[in-house]
């Protein structure tokens, strides 16, 4: 697919004083490139003193052929979920620490945007989860996740009881603090701190990582991404929640089912032409560092 980036949508992290400087630099450069700018309403508070189109998410989806999100990985996660059905490429400008998903720093905006508008970029397609919460055989809510779906205890220091099925086949019944079901994108997030492996983003796989399981033989397992994962909350007390991408959550009741499948649409993330996933891993995880004397 050939991308002609003419209409650019801008989404920013909220409540961050660094946004204004970066947003001003981006809009100035986009103006010089004769691009049409659509500013999401979340950025209206930054008062750019220019008459840009201030629009809703739906209007961004209707008008834009590129979304630039300014913030961190969390900002991009939220953006990806919002535009999951539209396949609009997303570009991340990193305001904080080095991100796995947002990898353009504010001091190289002009150079990188020029390269991307000239077609010099890496197109990275990531799959997402479709998530259904089922209660009494009725779907009570639907969600999308790019990183992970976490079923976890929340109000008391007591393990929860879960049954997991893969494509209708029983996998296990476990007592644990919870279970992380992760995409390869999310394998470097919560799942990593729970002892799970790092999955390369190009893999079509799902990672299931228990959180502090009572039985120490319960280990992370990787299955094909086209599998249907069904998790049933068992036990006596409904002291559990489901959290998606660490950003939204919902209370669970006993016998609720969390059904997780691969979403047909993928999110398209653009990276600079020099993007190196392993270099980011080394930097984020401090690999190959020399010990201090």
Query: What's the rounded Cα separation, in Å, for the pair 32 and 47?
Result: 20
For 154, 159, 171, 228, the CA distances from 165, given in Å and listed in that order, are: 23, 19, 5, 8
Q: Is the pLDDT of residue 293 over 70?
A: no
With a CB cutoff of 8 Å and minimum separation 6, the contacts of 290 are none
Query: What's the rounded Cα separation, in Å, for the pair 282 and 195?
Result: 18
Burial class from Cβ neighbours inside 10 Å (0-12, 13-18, 19+) for residue 155 reads exposed
Q: What is the per-residue pLDDT across 63-97, written as a single tens digit (0 to 9) for each?
A: 999 999 999 999 999 999 999 999 999 999 998 77
Q: What is the per-residue pLDDT across 130-189, written as a single tens digit (0 to 9) for each?
A: 999 999 999 999 999 999 999 999 888 889 999 999 999 999 999 999 999 999 999 999
For 64, 117, 203, the CA distances from 29, given in Å and listed in that order, are: 17, 12, 36
Q: What is the per-residue pLDDT across 249-285, written as a single tens digit (0 to 9) for each?
A: 999 999 999 999 999 999 999 999 999 999 999 988 8
Closest by CA to 176, choosing from 187, 194, 193, 162, is 162
What's the confidence (pLDDT) of residue 288? Answer: 73
Which of 8-12, 83-87, 99-103 is the least confident region? 99-103
Higher pLDDT, 98 or 211: 211
Catalytic site residue 245?
no
Structural domains of the chain, with CATH: 7-120+273-285 (3.40.50.10330), 128-264 (2.60.200.30)
Identified catalytic residue from 16, 73, 148, 177:
73
Query: What's the rounded Cα separation, in Å, for the pair 38 and 7?
Result: 7
Which of 39-53, 67-81, 235-249 is the least confident region? 39-53
What's the confidence (pLDDT) of residue 17? Answer: 72
Q: What is the mean pLDDT of the chain?
A: 92
pTM strictly above 0.75: yes
What's the confidence (pLDDT) of residue 284? Answer: 86
Percent of the chain exceeding pLDDT 90 equals 78
3-state secondary structure 24-43: HHHHHHHHHCCCEEEEEHHH
């Amino acid at each position: 697919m050939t991308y002609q980036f003419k209409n650019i949508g801008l989404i920013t992290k909220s409540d961050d004083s660094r946004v204004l400087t970066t947003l001003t630099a981006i809009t100035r450069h986009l103006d010089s490139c004769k691009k049409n700018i659509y500013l999401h309403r979340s950025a209206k508070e930054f008062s750019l003193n220019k008459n840009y189109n201030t629009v809703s998410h739906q209007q961004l989806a209707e008008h834009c052929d590129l979304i630039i999100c300014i913030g961190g990985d969390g900002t991009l996660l939220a953006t990806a979920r919002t535009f999951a059905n539209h396949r609009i490429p997303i570009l991340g400008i990193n305001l904080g620490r080095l991100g796995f998903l947002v990898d353009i720093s504010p001091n190289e905006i002009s150079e990188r945007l020029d390269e991307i508008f000239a077609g010099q970029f890496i197109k990275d397609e990531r799959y997402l989860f479709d998530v259904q919460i089922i209660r009494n055989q009725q779907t009570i809510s639907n969600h999308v996740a790019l990183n992970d779906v976490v079923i976890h205890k929340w109000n008391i220091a007591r393990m929860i009881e879960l049954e997991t099925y893969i494509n209708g086949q029983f996998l296990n019944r476990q007592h644990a603090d919870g279970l992380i079901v992760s995409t390869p994108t999310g394998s470097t997030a919560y799942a990593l701190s729970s002892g799970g492996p790092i999955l390369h983003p190009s893999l079509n796989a799902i990672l299931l990582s228990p959180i502090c399981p009572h039985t120490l033989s319960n280990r992370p397992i990787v299955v094909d991404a086209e599998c249907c994962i069904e998790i049933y909350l068992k036990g006596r007390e409904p002291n559990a929640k489901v959290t998606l991408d660490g950003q939204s959550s919902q209370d669970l009741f006993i016998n609720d089912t969390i059904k997780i499948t691969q979403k047909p649409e993928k999110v398209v993330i653009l990276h600079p032409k020099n993007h190196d996933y392993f270099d980011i891993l080394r930097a984020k995880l401090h690999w190959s560092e020399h010990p201090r004397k």
